[in-house]
Structure 1
Amino acid sequence: MQTVNRIRTIRNAVLIALATIGTAQAGTLTIESWRVDDKTLWETVLIPAFQKKNPGIEVKFAPTAPTEYDSSLTARLAGGTAGDLIACRPFDVSLALYKKGNLEKLDGKPGMEHFPASSKTAWQTDDGKDTFCMPIASVIHGFLYNQKIFKELNIQPPKTEAEFYKVLDTIKSNGKYAPLALGTNDQWESSQIIFTGLGPNYWKGEEGRKALIAGKEKFTDPNFVNAFEYEARLGKYLNKGASSQTYGDSQNQFALGKAAIYPAGSWDIAYFNDNSKISMGAFPPPVPKAGDKCYISDHNDIGMGVNKKSKNKEDAYKFLAWLGSQEFADIYTNKVTGFFSLSDHLISVKDPVAKQMIDWRKSCSSTIRLNAQILNRGEPSMENQLWNVNAQVLNGKLAPKEAAAQIQAGFAKWYKPQQ
């Protein structure tokens, strides 16, 4: 009898030890990110949803302020103290991390099969052979409009360039509202929202962007000059003090119902939902003329990679696989309003304005911001030049052809295919 009890005691001890080992192996996953505003969402919604499917795996979301993220992450990676999962900025910043050996190659990993080739571009080597971050979400550019004002003035969302000018003229002649809530003080909106948001309809999205990279087209070609000309004409509908109007000023102007149309990034939807009582709608960048194919700037914004020096890669890949799931795509798209999953899952978007914007993917071809891939690698910086040049075009200080020539000259100084 004592022998039987002794065997039972030993068996129970072994089972307890095995269970303890299993728990210890799970460990804690740490996620690096610059999205400090998402901290509550990760801690109260996303991580618990993952843990429900993967009990025993602890996850910590440890964000760093956006302005400090790149430098502090690089330091932690070098010192071996970085987290297991790395939130990836698009294109060159993350590519540099991969080239330094900081990120794992993810091709063929569970979850990656749910992302089309176009969504991986921001996190691949230039030749497209290695993918080092899983795509999470993109932002879309277009226009928000005040539905009450449109109804009052008996106008409809424009579909073509000519219709857009007619709408703007109607609003301007009425005199009660600003046609466009847009300033040029901060400059970035001039480039990232106006020029690279409206321009794809002129340079035909990916076709024109890739032609610049290949050296087959130049900024001085008609397709790109036409985009600058469109922008110059829009500048006539800005406030007199537009050159000193900040991004925050524009948001406030639209939120208070003082402007009819707001050139937007989809991330703005959440701001107006929280800070305004106006009734909004959205329309995509109007095409040059009726019957033209439409293009939208559907810009890859955030991805997730695995730290090559992570001591808990098994669980990191489990988390990555969940990031590629339908469940995550649904939660993220609906909780982070204006950030749209890049996966091929069918998503039911609850916010009506966000749904309008994501539905543009059904009728328009998506492209990324013109200079995001490869074209920002030399000096003078194309990003900085585009900010400055586009602000001047909107302010009426620089002619479209001069703007195109200035960008092209800077580009040709360092980029061999353009020489």
Structure 2
Amino acid sequence: MTESNTDTTTDLAPHHSFFSRLYTGTGAFEVVGRRRLFYIITAVIMLISLLSIAVRGFTLGIDFEGGSKISFPAAENVTTEQVETVYSDTLGMEPVSVQTVGSGSSATIQIRSEELNLAQVNQLSDALYNEFQPKDSEGNPSRNEISTSDVSSTWGSQVTKKALIALAVFLVLVSIYITIRYERDMALAALAALIFDLVVTAGLYSLVGLEVTPATVIGLLTILGFSLYDSVVVFDKVEENTRGVLHLNKRTYGEQANLALNQTLMRSINTTVIGILPVIGLMVVAVWLLGVGTLKDLALVQLVGMIVGAYSSIFFATLLLVSIKERWGPVAAHTKKVLSRREQGRSGVARPAAAGSGAAPAARSARTATATVERPDREPRTGAPRPGSRPTGKRQKKRH
């Protein structure tokens, strides 16, 4: 009968779906408690990125390496393979890259090559005009539709230098703000997450072989703001949940931080998804409609950076904050105290009764163990009287 009632009660208990618990923040997903696993994952990602940067390097754009760029309107049947054949047959060498930008009537063939002299440019332009007959806006073949430009590598290096200066200033200002608004440990965790975002985003560009342009460097700066925003949102909830935690004996700092992660997890996911959608729209407009390479490079680095930033704010920044806190200081002492009390409570439940003891001592032991489980914040009662307590009547009678 009891089992039937228990089964009925279990069946009637409300079952919340995964997404419901995720949205309400009641999922109790253990993130901080498994931080060693996430540290390993983060370290592997970081190591792969650094190795790729050191071994493969980057595919630098023409703005960094310098060279010549030739472009002309693409006819319907023109392919990049045909353009590469004309280039190699005319100049006797291979181009660096040939790509089609845009689609339909606005499609353009762009050739990137080593720096060409004037004679080579004229020779290549004549060959491209004779082979593909590029047309102007009125539909007439025109040699003027073939444009050439020389790019110096100095401009790209200047952009990179200014970007690095801006990055250093940004990191200093962020550190000062978070230290004043929150505390030093949060500033260290946020800076570590920002460095992780930069290295992993750059490592992905190196690993996949994506071209690095000045727009990519500028895009790296834009993703730092998003990553910092997501981390600050979680830190704000951590600060709220851990306020006064040192005066309590039921939960540790790490457990309260894990609760904050659960409460802000859906917010982080929503922010990332909402931020990614416009970036994807920008990539669609840049690549298929307008054919603007700068917009494509800017949108691509933002897309990668937002995904990496969402990961670091949830699975790295807060976990690192907890590890720093539990390494030394009052939070470390409080965590040891709470865990020690819990261990005492568990040992009180599991301790067997002594051999030859009567029913009354066994009952007292059971009551003591139950009280210890129900109130883990209190010390377990023992046979010794509390300090300052007065003797009972039975003890007084024995004295007389």
- TM (normalized to structure 1)? 0.22
Q: Which has the higher contact order (CA 8 A, sep 6+)?
A: 1
User: Higher helix proportion, which one?
Assistant: 2
Larger of the two Rg values belongs to structure: 2
User: Higher strand proportion, which one?
Assistant: 1
- TM (normalized to structure 2)? 0.23
